[in-house]
Structure 1
Amino acid sequence: MLLIYTQKVTPRIVYTFKHICSNILGISVKFSTKIEEFIAHDGMKMSYGKQPLGNELFVQKVDLLMEQGFSEVEIKVQPWGNSFCFFPLPETSALPFDIFAASFYLLSRYEEYLPHVKDEAGRFPAAESLAYQEGFLQSPVVDVWAYKFKEVLEERFPEIEVGKRSFSSRAVIAVEHVFGYRNKGFIRSFLGMHIDMFHLHFGKVFDRIRVLFRLKKDPFNVFEDLIEIIKSYNLKMLFMFQLSDFTVHDRNINHNRMPYRSVIKYVADYAKVGLLLGYYALDDFRILRREKLRMEDIIHSPLEYVMNTKYDLNLPDCYNNLNELEINHDYSMGYPHTPGFRAGTCTPFLFYDINMEVTTPLMVHPYAFNSAAADILSLEDVQRLLGNMMQEVKGLGGHFNAVFKNQDFSEYFDKELNYSFLKQIYEIE
């Protein structure tokens, strides 16, 4: 156990130290504001303040973890070994940077509370982030800093026992459209066929007819193929199904249709399933609750996992709604078209609400890769970034999550390429 002295124990300090020390390094921590207790402690200890109390391990702090709310923060990113960091400290500190304040800035998504330019879909874009602008978006710097802190601890306390982590990876399949042609209704099928004819997509017209007459399997129904991979290699995979009402934003089929429900139940027998949030569920608590109940009615168990891959996260309101409905796991933390670590970490972390200054029960599982990035980046860039990120996460014993759509593995997309990405993520030969 590591005793940490600080003049005032704030929620931000507890949150950040527990993520770095406990979640990443596996070291239990205890906080104290009493100098007498700290001095009398014979075990491992460090102080986090403006100046050391004696010859203990000392890390000087900046003010961010002592503040409340949010305001403009002056940040100057500097190199630190083969990484980067900010909030520099004087030589009296055991660390040259306040990694705790810097980690809180990234984990809490502090910059997303500040004024910024949104993209065409109303989202916080990767280009507005500090990590993208300073060139460290593809590195889980919070975990890198934690391991640098581990080296300092091991040098000062050779007896310290640090937990060992093992690398894990998971593909998350976002299912907005279970079927491409089936169960769309006469009007939608009729319009879709004429649109394909107008664009001279005669192959799709022929496929639609064959699917509607049950002469061919629907091209988006690739779930048997994915389940076969899961069973063959004993993989962990997560499927997110959309159950929202039909709107201009969400165009899935009616959630009450038995073929749709049957697919969800079939997948749930072999993998974890969750809810892909609809556009209006992000802002309207009643709609979110309705979609949650729909999923629970199908899978006959409490909903644990949700994801939003297309729309604005709208922090902290969307996450607070998930907390209120006791949904415990979110997989939305990433950039749809830009590979990288949006929150700077490859370790699941609890969401911290800056408005309320409280650590919430919601566990955020960040993803580093979305197949949509292949629509913008070259194949060489995607393969290089994916390989580099996985290699670094593997060295840190972290978690690597990647997002795909079910149609990525259909005949209308480059399914061979996406299967190769899937195999690379799971390290399948």
Structure 2
Amino acid sequence: MNIYINEACPEKEYIVDVFFKTFFGIEFNVILNRNINNQDYIIEFEGKTIILKNTLFKKEDYLKKSNLPKDVKYLCSPFTSEPIPILYGENKIDISKNLVVIHADIFATAFFMLTRWEEYVIDIRDEHNRFPARESIAYKNNFLNRPIVNECLDLLWGVFEYLGYQGVRKDRDFEMVITHDVDLPRLWWNTKDFIKSIGGALIKRKSLKEFILLFKFKLKKEDPFNTFNFLMKVSEDNNLKSHFFFMSGGTSNKDNYYRIDHPTIIKLLTEIKSRGHFIGFHPSYNAYNDNAQFQKELIKLKEVANTVITTGRQHFLRFENPTTWQIWEDNNMKWDSTMSYHDIPGFRCGVCYEFPVFNILTKKQLKLIEKPLIVMEGSFITYQNKNPSQVSQEINYLIKTVKKYNGTFVFLWHNSAFNIGKSMSYQHLYKQIVDENT
């Protein structure tokens, strides 16, 4: 299979590589042919041709608000089960015996979602300097709950099949990746903490049930946030390995809720390793755009945990494009799983497959892999104030969507989100979700 472009363009080369190598897993050659009198992508195999219209990468500098999608169209075709959102190009496809012309710019659509360049050119931020979900094109056009990159992949593969392509698409199975950000390994480190918590239950939350529950934990000399054995057992019962992301420093009041070298934490790290689960990195609040701070904390965690650390997620899901990804790359991290909005779950990158990231400023594909986070429990429980029935329904909808594409469902549930406040009754639901989907 040959793919022709008429000029060297890192963005074009990246999206072609991600589609054909990472996602499809098929062999191809990119051929630069300056004799082509347009800037479209031309794909040829076995005497068949596909022309993919290029509408975005006609100018060197696309990183402008004026180049954001103006109008989301929906493309109907015989190759997909439902109309798919198209951010660039026209919602039109011409089909003949040996030639298919796709006027929808599916490569620009996918590039837009995967690279998150939208978040670079739009300067609106929340109080934690995060790009808000409600400012995204996906949210405003009601497709944040759809992995539209996967839909574009299925469209293109359908065209291949129609034209008689004999290659085999990469085989995939649904996978659930269980992760836990360890912000608060314990609720109580001393008597003052205990008094504060029961006061919060009675006075702030006016919950006698929670007050009694906390006293029961205290009488049993247990801690409500020490749910690690429960989390590991649920994973073990389903032949899964949990990823526990630990903090090891910080410079703000959102950090330093524990010392990574405290004997209690060292014992926990040892148990996690001995049971075959994974220890990862949860960089502090301000480390998302501070390489020196990131590196300092990573070195400390590696020293204390005495294990290789190459995976993790940013605290508060803070992300600056492309700075955060480049910091992870420069520190030889293998994969990150920050890419989800804190308050609205779904497909921030428009995809449920892992993929190599792209630095939009250096115009280079990085070795770093992004495993997009699909669901964080706090999105539903804390920010949307949903009840357990609603939480179950919405999580299962997203799982069903990921299963449709044999994708990876990355699931975050904090160890501290079970026994107090709004999270008080969720252990059974958590176990049920994992049990029923593995």
Category of TM-score, reference length = shorter chain: 0.7 to 0.9
CA distance in 2 between partners of 1:164 and 1:353 (Å): 28
Shift of 1:217: 0.9
Matches within 5 A, 1:275-424: 275-375=281-381, 376-379=384-387, 381-410=390-419, 414=423, 416-424=425-433
Number of paired residues? Answer: 416
Q: Specify every segment of 5 or more residues in structure 1 that has no aligned partner in the other structure, as ranges.
A: 39-46
State the partner residue of 2:32.
Answer: 33
Aligned pair 1:79/2:74, yes or no? yes
The answer as to whether partners of 2:89 and 2:105 remain within 8 angstroms in 1 is yes
Shift of 1:250: 1.4
Shift of 1:414: 3.7
Q: Which moved more, 1:226-235 or 1:140-149?
A: 226-235
CA 1:94/1:377 → structure 2, altered by over 3 Å: closer, same or farther?
A: farther
State the partner residue of 1:17.
Answer: 16
CA distance in 2 between partners of 1:419 and 1:313 (Å): 32
CA distance in 2 between partners of 1:157 and 1:13 (Å): 25
Shift of 1:245: 4.1
CA distance in 1 between partners of 2:407 and 2:43 (Å): 33
The answer as to whether partners of 1:143 and 1:346 remain within 8 angstroms in 2 is yes
Q: Which moved more, 1:64-73 or 1:391-400?
A: 64-73
Shift of 1:55: 6.8
The answer as to whether partners of 1:122 and 1:311 remain within 8 angstroms in 2 is no
Matches within 5 A, 1:142-221: 142-182=149-189, 199=204, 215-221=220-226
The answer as to whether partners of 2:4 and 2:41 remain within 8 angstroms in 1 is no
Query: Identity across aligned pairs (percent)?
Result: 19
The answer as to whether partners of 2:284 and 2:315 remain within 8 angstroms in 1 is no
Shift of 1:67: 2.9
State the partner residue of 1:42.
Answer: none
Please, which of 107, 110, 131 is the counterpart of residue 114 of structure 2? Answer: 107
Task: Give TM-score scaled by structure 2 length.
Answer: 0.85
CA distance in 2 between partners of 1:319 and 1:178 (Å): 27
CA 1:394/1:137 → structure 2, altered by over 3 Å: closer, same or farther?
A: same
Shift of 1:123: 0.9
Q: Which moved more, 1:356-365 or 1:276-285?
A: 276-285
Q: Which moved more, 1:300-309 or 1:104-113?
A: 300-309
State the partner residue of 1:57.
Answer: 50
Shift of 1:160: 2.3
3-state DSSP class of the match of 1:64? coil
Q: Which moved more, 1:230-239 or 1:171-180?
A: 230-239
State the partner residue of 1:234.
Answer: 239
Shift of 1:399: 0.7
CA distance in 2 between partners of 1:194 and 1:389 (Å): 37
CA 1:193/1:154 → structure 2, altered by over 3 Å: closer, same or farther?
A: closer
Deviations 1:77-98 (A, max 9, x none): 1112422112124655622411
CA 1:419/1:209 → structure 2, altered by over 3 Å: closer, same or farther?
A: closer
Deviations 1:302-329 (A, max 9, x none): 3111212515301111221111111121
The answer as to whether partners of 2:235 and 2:241 remain within 8 angstroms in 1 is yes
CA distance in 1 between partners of 2:432 and 2:213 (Å): 29
Equivalent AA in structure 2 for residue 63 of structure 1 = L
Q: Specify every segment of 5 or more residues in structure 2 that has no aligned partner in the other structure, as ranges.
A: 77-81, 95-99
Deviations 1:133-185 (A, max 9, x none): 11111011101110110010111133222222111112211110111103x5x
Shift of 1:131: 0.7
CA 1:187/1:385 → structure 2, altered by over 3 Å: closer, same or farther?
A: closer
CA distance in 1 between partners of 2:210 and 2:48 (Å): 74
3-state DSSP class of the match of 2:413? strand
Q: Which moved more, 1:324-333 or 1:299-308?
A: 299-308
State the partner residue of 2:63.
Answer: 70
Task: Give TM-score scaled by structure 1 length.
Answer: 0.87
CA distance in 1 between partners of 2:368 and 2:374 (Å): 19
Equivalent AA in structure 1 for residue 254 of structure 2 = H
Deviations 1:209-266 (A, max 9, x none): 8878x85111111111112222222113211112224741214122221111211221
Shift of 1:396: 0.9
CA distance in 2 between partners of 1:311 and 1:168 (Å): 22
